[in-house]
Chains A and B, each alone.
Chain A
């Protein structure tokens, strides 16, 4: 059982948030006696994305436990309600969110990601005057927000859009060359995307900026989602060896299969992958063949002292193999909302537009240092700023982290950006 004293002592990660919230709660009634605030989450708890859905719920559970331990929000404890979005899609996700609002009266819905929604969630939130926080990591959120900022005032993307992976990767590659850490055989990139919006937007962004950064796209291959037989794709890559193979597909088991099929006949290419290598399953399935793989994420728990308390608490509560990198997203999202709601004078309720706008304004003002780094919303698109592609100031943007699997007995090494790096890039074994 968690209590206020042990929480404040152990959780370095949310220490500032805990103290702030505890201070604001000091003059209010005991949380246990007050009416709970319903918190909604429409998550893929079954189906292909269930692994991530479970971690998103874990992140919310942990945040709620911590927030309630310091008195909830102005004396009201939080209570989580989940709706399963299974295979996702616009119809399923919008109905799940509407059920949360109608059944439980949730003033906020904190989702992880749901794909195939065309950002219809923003309409549900707008029509019901609730705050909606998500980690779909899509530029389409920004585009939709720009269409009508007054209508979509309550929708926030807690991380930067996927679009910034493109310039971020190219900038990182050039940094490796400029610093003498890597000497590529040519300036060709083979792009391998899968047929989902997230993957394609990233691949397109790399292609869009390649020329500007001095690179040439020698292959652009789109594979089915999911996919595990990489033979024909690898045969194409081997026909014209690129300096970089960038796989923007993101399922860890498929990416591990790519590496196990690549390693018996490797090319002299740096292998960059998307998101999947951050999950324990990638290393577990791929074994030695994943050693040397570089990947990046625009959102993920930083391997620093600040987030140590969170990582420890997460693994203690959910087991040693739990993926805190995923759970950290909803954890930070709920914490930022809780602080903003407390500052705004309360969480409000659905269809209370005035209070929802007050909370929204508070979220926009609050620069929150969470376990994923800084969350500060870009007023143009209401997504988190990314550092360094959008802002050169590390204290004003969420770091675009580049990591490499170096020692399989340890966690991957954060190799960029330099402000957060814990080690240096090493040449993968198949290239050295």
Chain B
């Protein structure tokens, strides 16, 4: 029983973190056809923003978490204004490739900027919850519970924003058909700006949660970014509810495999599963086939 609880705790915690990382990535892909390779660096930015506000400035942690979301959103806005907008206008059919390469460069630059500013030694993330509670003989840390709850709240908030607001309708319309949305009067460029800001804010909060476990280092976003990309592909690129389901499902399988077969098999089995799923359903579990004219 205590083993089952350990697996569920690890699976749900990792699932929540993967899901939060995945929806940010999936949102941008679904609405803009843009694979944001700097998403992992935005996670790191969020983590360090909390450190600066809470530890360096000594402000309350809740304010620091808001600042992390703000820093992520601001980075998203800058990314759009300085890079993405130009590429949309100039790269044409090569946009998907160009923006992927450009964001790889931005990711490396941002990581090195964090290295220069904060140094390479890992730093303690001020956002943390100590203590644990017992279920039978098992101990469940409160931090894991907080990570799961905050993730769920952020995901619900994002779902409401996309389904119930004017901005959300514009995002959905643009995602479905950019040209049609333009003809219907949707300000597509502004929508793109909002999508990147929103994705950046989610990445900022996700970075805070991830670093509450991993602590702060400039490369902290690399592993969640890789996992998020896998979840996105499994779910079907751009499918938000599918991405969340895939994140939790795969995280539970990973935790189970880590216990049953050994910790080293968690990731390889995850990858094998992804390959099998993509052979079975090339567009992902919840993705729809796309027809493209060559």
Contacts and interface: CB of A to CB of B under 8 A. Distances in A.
Interface of A: 46-54, 195, 221-224, 226-229, 231-236, 238-239, 251-254, 256-257, 261, 264-265, 279-281, 284-285, 321, 323
B213 A257 contact: yes
B122 A253 contact: yes
Contact of A281 (B123, B139, B214, B259): B123
A167 to B, nearest CB: 25
Interface residues of B, number: 36
A239 B138 CA distance: 12
Given A54-B119, A232-B263, 20 more contacts: A48-B217, A221-B263, A228-B213, A229-B14, A231-B9, A232-B10, A235-B7, A238-B2, A253-B122, A254-B214, A256-B215, A257-B214, A264-B141, A265-B132, A265-B139, A279-B121, A281-B123, A284-B123, A285-B122, A323-B121
A50 B262 CA distance: 29
Interface in B89-147: 111-112, 115, 119-124, 132, 138-139, 141
B262 A229 contact: no
B6 A285 contact: no
Contacts of A239: 3
B252 to A, nearest CB: 12
Given A232-B258, A235-B259, A195 B264 contact: yes
Interface in B187-230: 213-215, 217-219, 223
Nearest to B256: A232
Given A229-B10, A232-B10, A224 B121 contact: no
A224 B6 contact: no
Contacts of B123: 281, 284-285
Interface in B127-172: 132, 138-139, 141
A234 B139 CA distance: 11
B166 to A, nearest CB: 40
Contacts of B174: none
A253 B6 contact: no
A284 B263 contact: no
A226 B215 contact: no
A256 B7 CA distance: 21
A33 B31 CA distance: 64
Contact of A46 (B112, B121, B262): B112
A252 B123 CA distance: 10
B46 interface: no
Contacts of A50: 115, 120, 218
11 contacts: A48-B217, A53-B120, A221-B262, A222-B262, A224-B264, A231-B9, A232-B255, A238-B2, A264-B139, A265-B139, A321-B121
A48 B219 contact: yes
State the 8 A-B residue pairs at the shortest beta-carbon distance, nearest first.
A51-B120, A50-B120, A231-B10, A235-B6, A232-B259, A253-B122, A232-B258, A222-B264
Given A223-B264, A229-B10, A235 B120 contact: no
A279 B258 CA distance: 28
A217 to B, nearest CB: 14
Most B CB within 10 A of own CB, among A222, A233, A236, A264 = A264
Contacts of B139: 264-265
Nearest to B17: A229
Nearest to B124: A285
A228 B214 contact: yes
A410 to B, nearest CB: 19
Interface string B257-271: 011001110110000
B112 A223 contact: no
B259 A236 contact: yes
B148 to A, nearest CB: 13
A38 B122 CA distance: 32
B36 interface: no
Contacts of A257: 213-215
Contacts of A226: 214, 223
A235 B264 CA distance: 15
B239 interface: no
B263 A227 contact: yes
Contact of B6 (A232, A281, A321): A232
Contacts of A221: 262-264
B264 A284 contact: no
Nearest to B259: A232
B2 A235 contact: yes
Most A CB within 10 A of own CB, among B14, B111, B264, B267 = B264
A289 B9 CA distance: 21
Contacts of B218: 46, 50
Contact of B214 (A52, A224, A253): A253
A97 B209 CA distance: 39
B26 interface: no
Contacts of A284: 123-124
Contacts of A48: 217, 219
A53 to B, nearest CB: 7
